[in-house]
Structure 1
Amino acid sequence: MLRFTANLSLLFTEVPLINRFAVAKASGFNAVEIQFPYELSAQIIKTELDAQQLQLVLFNVAADDLLQGGEGLAAVPEKQTQFETAVAQAVEYAQILKPEAINILPGCCFDNEHLAAYQDTFKKNLHYALAAFSPLGIKTVFEAINTRDMPHFIIHSSAQMLDIMTEIKHPDLLMQYDIYHSLVMKENPTSFIAQYSDKIGHIQFADYPGRHEPGTGNINFQQLFSVIKTSGYAGWIGAEYKPLNSSTSSLSWLRNAY
């Protein structure tokens, strides 16, 4: 049976974050994910999760200025101390919220002359995160983001993610596989998931090309969900899309997905 999470950073934004948990539960979700939960204390989130009988599956390590057009945090050599502080913050939240995985956004490099150093820094920081999260029983995941929406992102393909995993060779390092980003980069997500389901720690989706809910683009979600169901992937599937209208009106796919 497929298990879906509502990404509370993109869904139900009609209400403040603290109120999105209840709306997600009322909409049929038993689990949620949050890109960056740090505007609320971990205890406040835990109280709301318990009240709604929800599980928080995933959140990200803070990414500094990435969403404001900067290079982010996890690959910038001059920001390694800041990254370690962000990991410590994530650990504090994880000890209370007990997610299954924590995502690390690689970030961007605006000068190709420094790209190798950024890639090396990112891999060092993955090792650091693994040492922090694995003792808590939490997987470390990282993701590729397409270079159309976020130019200069240092990890933008599934092949790059596989190469990093092969190099680091840690059982708790997995990829966060985003179907929308893979399609923007002209990849084939159904064949990739079928072949590499054991390398994936979390899946996220949005329709393509608009990044809205299923039914607004070109993806055959019935086929996609069928492939995921038979692939051996047993993790959660995150609805991380931008609703075309209201969030609640975007959920017709959920009733037909099982």
Structure 2
Amino acid sequence: MLRFTANLSLLFTEVPLLERFQAAAEAGFKAVEIQFPYELNIDQIQQQLQRHHLKLVLFNVDADTLLQGGEGLAGVPEKQAQFREAVGQALEYARLLNPEVINVLPGRCINNERLPEYLTTFKDNLRHAANAFERIGVKTVFEAVNTVDMPGFMIHSGQQMLDILTELKHPNLAMQYDLYHMHRMGEDCDEFLCEHLAQIGHIQFADCPGRGEPCTGQTDFDRLFDIIAQSDYRGWTGAEYKPSGTTEDSLDWLRRYRLSAL
């Protein structure tokens, strides 16, 4: 199944976040995702979703200063209490907004000597999040990110995610598989999707390199989207790219692949 979401943190940035819901609906999206929705209150988001007949599919647990170059929250031993507060905040939003999945970003480890300690902390925190979100029927996912764009990111391959799933064996835990990040790491995304879609709870994409819309790089989206469409995957596929021009001008791919999926 091939169903697309618009990531409102990267798309439609020509307007403020509160206005991007309408822009996404007018562009033909039926669902959206937001990296970190916490600058808006729950009522504001709920009103926009209802007004524009949209579903909010995904958002992330807060990651502190990760996007500004920091280590994030989920893996830092000294920040476990702060991470659990962030899970509580995500729960408040999820109870009313009813996303399908919530993403936990592993984060960076700047001091490589502490990596084992950070990984242990991350797995403990991931288990805590999976338990918490399971109680309200929301799947927990976690994501590998390339170390070219984000040096020091702890989880940066599909195999690492598989290893964590095998170790934790949690029924409410799955991978978020980002095609851009894994292509950037040299991973064979075609093969990985064919073999492991059953363990993936959410997919995101951008072309590689450059992180633009499809047809701005080297990624074979015909092949990748066909694999998803022909599989038993029932999740969503999120457009999380940086438009090369205006967002509206970058959406030829949506018209093309949405029609091919009908």
| Normalised-by-shorter TM-score class | over 0.9
Amino acid at match of 1:229: A
User: Residue 65 of structure 1 aligns with which residue?
Assistant: 65
Inter-partner Cα distance in structure 2 for 1:114 and 1:220: 38
Written as runs of structure 1 = structure 2, the 5 A alignment for 1:48-197 is 48-197=48-197
User: Residue 8 of structure 2 aligns with which residue?
Assistant: 8
Amino acid at match of 1:59: F
Amino acid at match of 2:161: M
- SS of residue in 1 equivalent to 2:177: strand
User: Residue 232 of structure 1 aligns with which residue?
Assistant: 232
Inter-partner Cα distance in structure 2 for 1:182 and 1:98: 28
Inter-partner Cα distance in structure 2 for 1:231 and 1:191: 13
Inter-partner Cα distance in structure 2 for 1:116 and 1:161: 15
Amino acid at match of 2:157: S
Contact 1:4–1:236, Cα closer than 8 Å, also in 2: yes
Contact 1:179–1:205, Cα closer than 8 Å, also in 2: yes
Inter-partner Cα distance in structure 2 for 1:253 and 1:214: 6
Inter-partner Cα distance in structure 2 for 1:99 and 1:155: 24
Contact 1:193–1:231, Cα closer than 8 Å, also in 2: no
User: Residue 208 of structure 2 aligns with which residue?
Assistant: 208
Where do 5+ consecutive residues of structure 2 fail to align? Answer: none
Q: Quick one: percent identity of the two aligned structures?
A: 61
Where do 5+ consecutive residues of structure 1 fail to align? Answer: none
For residues 225-251 of structure 1, the C-alpha deviation after alignment (integer angstroms, 9 at most, x for no partner) is 101112221110000000000001000
Amino acid at match of 2:135: P
Inter-partner Cα distance in structure 2 for 1:30 and 1:6: 9
Tell me whether 1:256 sits opposite 2:232 in the alignment.
Answer: no
TM-score with structure 2 setting the length: 0.97
For residues 27-71 of structure 1, the C-alpha deviation after alignment (integer angstroms, 9 at most, x for no partner) is 010000000000000111001100000000000000001011010
- SS of residue in 2 equivalent to 1:102: strand
RMSD value, Cα: 0.6
- SS of residue in 1 equivalent to 2:58: strand
Contact 1:183–1:208, Cα closer than 8 Å, also in 2: yes
Inter-partner Cα distance in structure 1 for 2:114 and 2:22: 45
Amino acid at match of 1:243: P
Tell me whether 1:220 sits opposite 2:220 in the alignment.
Answer: yes
The offset of 1:112, in angstroms, is: 1.1
Amino acid at match of 2:59: F
Amino acid at match of 1:22: Q
Amino acid at match of 1:83: F
Inter-partner Cα distance in structure 2 for 1:20 and 1:191: 34
Contact 2:178–2:203, Cα closer than 8 Å, also in 1: yes
- SS of residue in 1 equivalent to 2:36: coil
User: Residue 31 of structure 1 aligns with which residue?
Assistant: 31
Amino acid at match of 1:150: M
Contact 1:104–1:140, Cα closer than 8 Å, also in 2: yes
Inter-partner Cα distance in structure 2 for 1:39 and 1:172: 27
Contact 2:131–2:172, Cα closer than 8 Å, also in 1: no
The offset of 1:171, in angstroms, is: 1.5
